[in-house]
Amino acid sequence: MSADLTFLSIFEMQAGLRSGDFSCTELLEGHLQRIHIFEPRIHAFITLVEESARTEAKKADSRFVDARKVNQIDQLPALLGIPIAVKDLITVKDVRCSCGSKVLGNWIAPFTATAVQHLINAGAIIIGKTNTDEFAMGSSTETSAFGPTFNPWDTTRVPGGSSGGSAAAVAARMVPAAIGSDTGGSIRQPAAFCGVTGMKPSYGRVSRYGLVAYGSSLDSMGAFARSGAETALLIGIMAGLDKMDSTSAAQPVPDYLKKIENGIKRLRLGVPREYFIEGIQPEISNTIKESIETYRSLGAEIIEISLPHTKYALPVYYLIAPAEASANLARYDGVRFGARQSTGSMIDMFFDTRGQGFGQEVKRRIMLGTYALSAGYYDAYYGQAQKVRTLIKQDFEKAFESVDVIACPVTPTTAFKVGEHGDDPLAMYLEDVFTLPANLAGVPGIAFPVGVDSYKLPIGMQLMGKRFEEETLFQAVQAFQQSTTFHLQYPAL
C-alpha cells in the first residue's frame, strides 16, 4: 500500500492524511522505499536524512491525532507530513551542504535557508539533499563531484541541470515536490527534460538567504512538482520579504491557489519570433506551436511579439554570471571555507585547495569571470554586458505592454545523452538559450510538460510573465493542465 502513496498528488496526500486514510509515517516510508529501489539507477540524492525524517513524521502523526480529538484538523499547517527534497545548494541546519563540490564535501550547514524554513513551518518533512552541478554551474548535473544524475525517462540521458537531482526525484516519484535554484534555467530546463512542472519566480520574490551564491543578481530559488497547482502551493509558502536578504522584495504574496481556476479567457499570450530559431529540434517547435493553439482554443488571444535583443542574451549571461561567480567563490580558499589541501605556505594552500577542490567547469567560469572583471577589460566586457542586459530587460517591459504572458520553448532539444556535450562547453551553454533571458530580466518563468518526442522523451513549454505576477502564470498552466494529461504521465522505471 505504502508504495502506491507515492503516486498521489500533494493535494491527495493532504486529504488522505486529514481523513486518516494513511499516516505521515506510512507516507514517508513509501517514498523512502521507492528511493531505495530506484536511487542506484537515478542518483538523484547526495544526502538522505532518513532518521530525522522519521522523527518528524512521528511528530506530525501526533499532531494529527491531537487535532482530531478537538476537531481542529483544518487548522493544521498546509504541508504537515508531506516529504520534500532540497537541492544541495540550499542550506538545512545540521545537514551536509556540499554544493556538488569536493571543496565543500563535508560542510555541515549551521542554519536553514529562509524559504526552506517556511516549508518546515508549514509542516513539510525534509527527506534529503538532491544532486546538483557543482555550485550550480552546468546544464546536465554531470559536473557534480558525486557523479551524474540520470534521467528517469531514459537513464542513458541527462536530467538537465543544475537542479537535475530535484527534477529527477520528482519525476521518479521519489518525492512529490523538491526545491531547486535557477540562475540561467536550472529549474525550468530540468523540469522540461524530466516531464515535471518547475517555477522560477521573479527575482526577489523568494528569499535567497541560505542559497549558496553563484550569480547574485541572477539567482532565484523555486520549486518542482507534478502540476502547476502544486507548484503554486509551494511558491506561495516559500515567498515573502526576508530581512536576511537585502534583495528580497517588499511585495505582498497573493494566495496563488485562490484564483488559479479563473481560466484564461481574454489572456493575451505573446509568441516571440526570436525563440523559434534554426537548429531547434523540429518536434519541439511543432509541439510548442500545437500547445499555443490549445491556448487559443481555451480563449487566449495569440499575439506575435519581438524581443529583439534575445540574440545577445547568451553572451551577456556568460559574462555576468561568471563574473559574479568569480567574486562569490573567492571565499573557498581553505581558510574561511573549503577542505584545506595543503600544509605548505599560505599561497600554496590557496592554490592547492582551489586547484584540487574545484572541478573543470567551475575553474573555467572563475577564470572567465576574473578576466571579464580585470583592469583594462572591465568596461569592454562586464560593463558592456550590463548595458545590453538593460536592453534585454527593456524588451520584456515593452512586450508586456501588449501581452500578459510570453510562451516559448524551454530547450532547443529534448534530454541529450550522458557525456554528449562533455567536450563541447559551448554546446552545453546553448542548452540555456531560451531560459536565461528571464533571469537577466528578473521576470518569472515556469516550465511544464506539453508532449513527447519520437523517443518518448518529455517536451516542455515555458511561460514567462510580468515581474511579481506569478499568479497569471499559474492560472495559464492550470488551464492547460486541466485540458490535457501530459503532466500526469510518468516514466516506467
Per-residue pLDDT tens for 455-478?
Answer: 999 999 999 999 999 999 999 999
Q: Is 87 designated active site?
A: yes
Q: Is 345 designated active site?
A: no
- Residue of 87, 129, 200, 466 marked active site: 87
pLDDT band at 1 (very low <50, low <70, confident <90, very high): very low
Pairing of strands 197-200, 178-182: unpaired
- Rounded to a whole number of angstroms, the distance between the first and last alpha carbons of the chain is 18
Q: Is 483 designated active site?
A: no
Count of C-beta atoms within a 10 Å radius of residue 288: 24
Residue 154, SS3 per DSSP:
strand
Mean of pLDDT values over 321-337: 86
Predicted confidence (pLDDT) at residue 201 exceeds the cutoff of 60: yes
Of the listed ranges 203-217, 249-263, 357-371, the least confidently predicted one is 357-371
Cα dihedral 120→126→131→133 (10° resolution): 10
Amino acid at 157: R
Mean of pLDDT values over 185-194: 98
- Residue of 139, 186, 207, 291 marked active site: 186
pLDDT at position 301 is 98
The pTM score is 0.96
Per-residue pLDDT tens for 44-69?
Answer: 999 999 999 999 999 999 999 999 99
Ordered domains of the chain (ranges, CATH): 2-314+383-488 (3.90.1300.10)
Per-residue pLDDT tens for 405-455?
Answer: 999 999 999 999 999 998 898 899 999 999 999 999 999 999 999 999 999
- Residue of 23, 139, 162, 202 marked active site: 162
Residue 481, SS3 per DSSP:
helix
Per-residue pLDDT tens for 125-140?
Answer: 999 999 999 999 999 9
* CB neighbour list of residue 371: distance below 8 Å, 6 or more residues apart: 377, 381
Mean of pLDDT values over 345-369: 82
